[in-house]
Structure 1
């Protein structure tokens, strides 16, 4: 184990990188508090835990286990590595062993034949279920309690294995997807398990948020309904990261009253000292930016913004301005004698224009992380590097290996990538390798954020804000587990939220974690689950309360559309196809698209159906464990992308166009002449083409057109309008208005995750100088899921707070005319054009002048 102080020196490179560290926070160590084992705990299990080094449980473990044992639902919300699994396995395995002993002592009792107490374990990922299976096997072996039959069952399980699980397993580890597609629709085959179900464990339940959380909540209601049919009423044990109001979130997930769930939140496990660094990559010479090639050298509509005055910055944010800096504005506007803050016409028209130094773009977070990961690996540290995308994980791993090859090829072989889309056997091998130390570093997506037990890590690098504080602390918790010290570095991407956070540490360290946001009453989510419930067993009127107040009205609509049939005894599904196929829990828009190598027929991996158009279109570059493949054909109807292995020095970025149509206005608020609206919209998107960019400098090499179908999404959106008088008051010209709105849209999408449990990839947006439905200049931000996920509604509720944060984040950025740290977006389908930073600030000021006061 490398000492944290030494690792910080490695990051700072003996002071050569000290200017990149914007803040360092030392989080103190915490002592643990142990208690005696509960009197009811199975003696063999206790001995097994002791053999594995757990002499006594932490107080929170024993408290949660006692509550579950008493028959009450419980949610345990404590930090990563605090041993939450003991709290649910102790009562579950004790119940199973007690039932086994009862049938052994009195085999003649008829009820002992099929009523061995069973437990269903549900988690968000297959990797976590496999890890829990590994830990359970170790525990049962150490306890010499092999009479408890444990099995993992998911979509990869063969039919023969599945039959054994149905007939014999006491503990079944699976995921909500298997429950929805297989177990519940075929519940008669699972009658033994459902009839003896005593405990249901929901691990990492904070991951059940947004649309996915709403789906899982309805799957659990269907599970409770069928379990009651077979005579059981299971106790739910939920394990969560530290979240706001975990009891209320757990109750909403289960469909019960908050009073029926007990929350245990006092973490009694020990924690080592953690050093948390906020980091901003260095500036690059102007003109070398990857986005500089998106604009012509002589852009007649270029807009420059003077750098913000020192008074607008926190005093410790940056060094004092140098002689090259231009200070021409204050919070009150341009200083006397300075040029206007925006050029309002083409060069040569006589309009007054500013002349500013070229933008100073920053090095990408992935390039910076690769350097840091290589240095930590050389220093002997075991490290996880979290990235925001599959492409990012592959890029960081490849770059890190490239750096290490020059030093020691053996070290290079100890670095790998880990991401979704890998085949199960690849993922399991990587998990085992990092656990045992055969791998020293993994560049990973958030697939390793959840509770896979990887102890002994020295450091965690995080490439960009992970979307929520819950995720941030989950990822950070991987460093220094089991009470050891650890180092964490959050490296900012060029994104408005990242820039804001690394210069406002109080928004991370002094702000509570978010509540989990999801809406099980969303009609687009609820309707297919009502059909699935009716297919499993006809729905009775007395059961509708389980599905919420909207269920009755929605059932009437489903009957009218012919999806269900109404009979005096209830609602029936009468179609031949499975009702479970009507929805996809993950919101990916259909079955995954398989990526297949044309020459060999080898399955490389999968991509979500919803992202196939933009990631595996013809000509796209697909990266798998550092090897590059080029897509030859995409067959959407068959769900297959055919690729050929080819070494290329470029990547591909899709370009698309989007339109938005308001379908209903559910709520609206007037801010003087402005209107804030919230309602249902149709968002139509079509991928038109893609750019090829050289790796690593992202120089644009060329572009190509594509002929792909348009896709329409019915979702929820928040929008605000800017009538002509507001635009005029802001001093924004007709020519600059589209760029001002576009910049405000990008920045507001980047900042909404600060207020809602989401990240910018959960959102979409559109801005237009004249929208056909509002008849004014309008900015839309919408949820990127069918029916909505609650994020846009959150933005509507906090409109003034959200827009002020957006305005401040843009103004605080030191760039002159807009950059990825403030108004450019990594997911813009229009190549971030047009954008007008200065005009966006003035427009937001004019809009906020009409805003109500906010806390």
Structure 2
């Protein structure tokens, strides 16, 4: 039996005197009363009765507003907080169309979720309502072949994902004709997750869906559910290609919440170039999770990686074994890769409170119904404010008070945020960034659309203005054939294979144990050069291997078991050339630009470092081919006169440090992860003849992140300068200018020079509220 709680979970965490210095800010979010609405007159009586029996006596006002828009045929996005009941907003009109006695034909509903787990969770919730006319079924990669036939012929509420829509439902639309003719609603759940290249692909899949629906005489209404996001109507319009109304006034009740920002302490260890080493966020999270479990505070710790989630749970268990052994069994990890029955058992244990502490990846962020938690630990910035509030919303979901602690990693963005709370609490959440007109996204979907139905001139309006420019190129490349009636797909292979909607790149590289032939896993083609090159240390479920050979043609990496006392890091060289500037702004003697660039990257060597100390023990050359990427970038230059006026400094080191820090801070302004972007800096670039710093999208054709950086450049680069200036280190560390992914081994870097460069750059930049 867990001990009784003390007066406050935060008080318990601060019981040790040394910990008080780790809190950089505490924010109190007041409680909010809910505002009920009335059931719409058209609501199915049976559904209202079932919901009342489930504890929903009346809807919240935002649920009614969104449902009324959808029922009237207006596409709508409901963008409200976690646990605000967004599902009821689309459930009402969806069930109403199935139960509509006045309609000539029973309507159908298509529900799209980004993950199979979320669709399965929604199906369970639907079936729990026991609505006999609603024949709901999932249609995904796990659906048996014989069941798929039943779903096509009989289901009127189909739950699937964008991948199945792209690869199965749309290419086989003739078999779905009866369902598509009656399609009334398309529900897009967790719409804020459709961003970047993935979101751009989904935008084109939805345009293909609308085109196929029109072929069968249907014009479905789209209902989108999203976490709180900036400009939800604009984002939904860009995603669907339709005019969408936003409902974002959250009328659900909320308990009082305490939000603490927490920075782990510096240790006595020294890392790269003598930089101080900060205690890891996962070690800190493990301790805090154990302390909360001792107090009986049911806590969910969100960790960015699968390995991290396992590490936090294991650390908490070890700590509990030392003080209260019987509590160690009340802590577990939860992540993708577990069997479905294992995940369901953990969710059930969490709901029954037999499980008090759980360390999870964001698998529990996306809509799986877990309510009644007392506290959430967020181990490292989750990437966006929208995701942060989504995770924090898992605590206090039943209206009670809640605690959230954001634990900073040793990273420029995390460091900046815990010392600038206004960037979290005083700022709206990000806008969702996607670019449906990216030619590398649009081209494959035009081919897929042509294989479904021949393309015509009228389709250019649906697919966007870039269509007219791309079609002749697709004909020239032999992908489409022009005929008087339109453009046709004439090849034997599947057109859908051209579009890699999850953005993994080419065929994945298989990692195979040489002695046994056992397949250990796969690595994305785009990251294989840096992770499974010859000599690389490869980790798999706690086992270590060394790569013997990498065959890029096969593609396979052969590995052998080993237990090295070192890790490996690839070192690469990157060149960038400007293809076409698209926009520019002058800031005195500085110039800011956005445009198309070509990035050539080659892994040339790998370094070996001691596991315990980080000491470099050697470097070995590699012979790998260069990779070329045409993408979009934001870059800035400084005039030679202005640079000379700054005096004697390591110009290359200053630019390199500014580049690293700006990459680290861009995710605060664009909905991207640090791995989505890259950078190059040079004291004298051949295309500009000046000092130039580039930050580019790491996806073919661009993903919209660099464009967002250009639009918010003044605020972004000011935040970059502030992050460097506020770091307590003397000459640079992972919290400000060092990058774990630097291909040059973080050399050269000049912290003071970076501050001088950024000050000169921003001297005549527009004010914080003005975009360049």
TM-score, length-scaled by structure 1: 0.83
**Is 1:279 paired with 2:262?**
yes
For the residues of structure 1 that align with 2:207 and 2:6, how far apart are their CA atoms?
A: 46
The answer to whether the 8 Å contact 1:691/1:704 transfers is yes
Unaligned runs of 5+ in 2: none
For the residues of structure 2 that align with 1:120 and 1:770, how far apart are their CA atoms?
A: 54
Residues 204-250 of structure 1 deviation map (CA, whole Å, 9 limit, x = unaligned): 10111122221111111110110111121111111011112212211
1:651 deviates by 5.3
1:788 to 680, 697, 702: 702
Residue 593 of structure 2 corresponds to which residue in structure 1? 677
Residue 555 of structure 1 corresponds to which residue in structure 2? 471
The answer to whether the 8 Å contact 2:633/2:707 transfers is yes
Residue 763 of structure 2 corresponds to which residue in structure 1? 849
Residue 287 of structure 2 corresponds to which residue in structure 1? 371
1:121 to 89, 111, 123: 111
1:501 deviates by 1.7
User: Cα gap change, 1:4/1:171 in structure 2, threshold over 3 Å: closer, same or farther?
Assistant: farther
Alpha carbon RMSD of aligned pairs, Å?
2.9
User: Cα gap change, 1:245/1:495 in structure 2, threshold over 3 Å: closer, same or farther?
Assistant: same
For the residues of structure 2 that align with 1:81 and 1:517, how far apart are their CA atoms?
A: 24
The answer to whether the 8 Å contact 1:746/1:825 transfers is yes
For the residues of structure 2 that align with 1:601 and 1:161, how far apart are their CA atoms?
A: 34
The answer to whether the 8 Å contact 2:538/2:547 transfers is no
For the residues of structure 1 that align with 2:698 and 2:707, how far apart are their CA atoms?
A: 13
- After TM superposition, the structure 1 = structure 2 runs for residues 277-426 of structure 1, keeping only pairs within 5 Å, are 277-285=260-268, 288-289=269-270, 292=271, 294-295=272-273, 360-407=276-323, 411-420=327-336
Residue 580 of structure 1 corresponds to which residue in structure 2? 496
The answer to whether the 8 Å contact 1:126/1:175 transfers is yes
SS at match of 1:557: helix
Residue 226 of structure 2 corresponds to which residue in structure 1? 240
The answer to whether the 8 Å contact 1:4/1:458 transfers is no
TM-score, length-scaled by structure 2: 0.92
Residue 70 of structure 2 corresponds to which residue in structure 1? 68
For the residues of structure 2 that align with 1:443 and 1:618, how far apart are their CA atoms?
A: 34
For the residues of structure 2 that align with 1:236 and 1:223, how far apart are their CA atoms?
A: 11
For the residues of structure 2 that align with 1:448 and 1:645, how far apart are their CA atoms?
A: 34
The answer to whether the 8 Å contact 1:3/1:485 transfers is no
Between 236-245 and 686-695, the greater mean CA deviation after superposition: 686-695
- After TM superposition, the structure 1 = structure 2 runs for residues 448-463 of structure 1, keeping only pairs within 5 Å, are 448-463=364-379
For the residues of structure 1 that align with 2:525 and 2:12, how far apart are their CA atoms?
A: 42
1:818 to 723, 729, 732: 732
1:78 to 62, 65, 80: 80
The answer to whether the 8 Å contact 2:65/2:247 transfers is yes
For the residues of structure 2 that align with 1:592 and 1:262, how far apart are their CA atoms?
A: 40
**Is 1:253 paired with 2:239?**
yes
1:754 deviates by 2.6
For the residues of structure 1 that align with 2:523 and 2:338, how far apart are their CA atoms?
A: 10
1:89 to 88, 91, 102: 91
Residues 692-740 of structure 1 deviation map (CA, whole Å, 9 limit, x = unaligned): 556676565666655544322211011122343332211244xx12211
- After TM superposition, the structure 1 = structure 2 runs for residues 436-835 of structure 1, keeping only pairs within 5 Å, are 436-437=352-353, 439-592=355-508, 607-617=523-533, 627-630=542-545, 632=547, 637=553, 652-691=568-607, 698=614, 706-733=622-649, 736-835=650-749
SS at match of 1:680: strand
1:63 deviates by 2.2
Residues 99-154 of structure 1 deviation map (CA, whole Å, 9 limit, x = unaligned): 7x98xxxxxxxx7xxx43211111112221122122222222xxxx2342211112
- After TM superposition, the structure 1 = structure 2 runs for residues 91-106 of structure 1, keeping only pairs within 5 Å, are 91-98=93-100
For the residues of structure 1 that align with 2:314 and 2:359, how far apart are their CA atoms?
A: 9
1:29 to 15, 28, 31: 31
User: Cα gap change, 1:694/1:29 in structure 2, threshold over 3 Å: closer, same or farther?
Assistant: farther
SS at match of 1:57: coil
1:170 deviates by 1.4
1:747 deviates by 1.0
User: Cα gap change, 1:635/1:61 in structure 2, threshold over 3 Å: closer, same or farther?
Assistant: farther
Between 626-635 and 77-86, the greater mean CA deviation after superposition: 626-635
Give the length in aligned residue pairs.
766
User: Cα gap change, 1:158/1:709 in structure 2, threshold over 3 Å: closer, same or farther?
Assistant: farther
Residue 203 of structure 1 corresponds to which residue in structure 2? 189
For the residues of structure 2 that align with 1:383 and 1:690, how far apart are their CA atoms?
A: 41
SS at match of 1:832: coil
Between 206-215 and 371-380, the greater mean CA deviation after superposition: 371-380
1:178 to 160, 164, 173: 164
SS at match of 1:132: helix
SS at match of 1:45: helix
For the residues of structure 2 that align with 1:691 and 1:456, how far apart are their CA atoms?
A: 47
Residue 265 of structure 1 corresponds to which residue in structure 2? 248
1:540 deviates by 1.4
SS at match of 1:516: coil
Unaligned runs of 5+ in 1: 103-110, 298-358
User: Cα gap change, 1:474/1:533 in structure 2, threshold over 3 Å: closer, same or farther?
Assistant: same
User: Cα gap change, 1:741/1:365 in structure 2, threshold over 3 Å: closer, same or farther?
Assistant: same
For the residues of structure 2 that align with 1:371 and 1:706, how far apart are their CA atoms?
A: 41
Residue 209 of structure 2 corresponds to which residue in structure 1? 223
User: Cα gap change, 1:90/1:651 in structure 2, threshold over 3 Å: closer, same or farther?
Assistant: farther
For the residues of structure 1 that align with 2:206 and 2:88, how far apart are their CA atoms?
A: 23
SS at match of 1:657: strand
SS at match of 2:129: helix
- After TM superposition, the structure 1 = structure 2 runs for residues 129-168 of structure 1, keeping only pairs within 5 Å, are 129-140=119-130, 145-168=131-154
Residues 789-847 of structure 1 deviation map (CA, whole Å, 9 limit, x = unaligned): 11212222333333232222212222110111211123222222211101111222233
1:66 deviates by 2.1
1:407 deviates by 4.0
User: Cα gap change, 1:480/1:648 in structure 2, threshold over 3 Å: closer, same or farther?
Assistant: farther
1:623 deviates by 5.5
The answer to whether the 8 Å contact 2:532/2:547 transfers is no
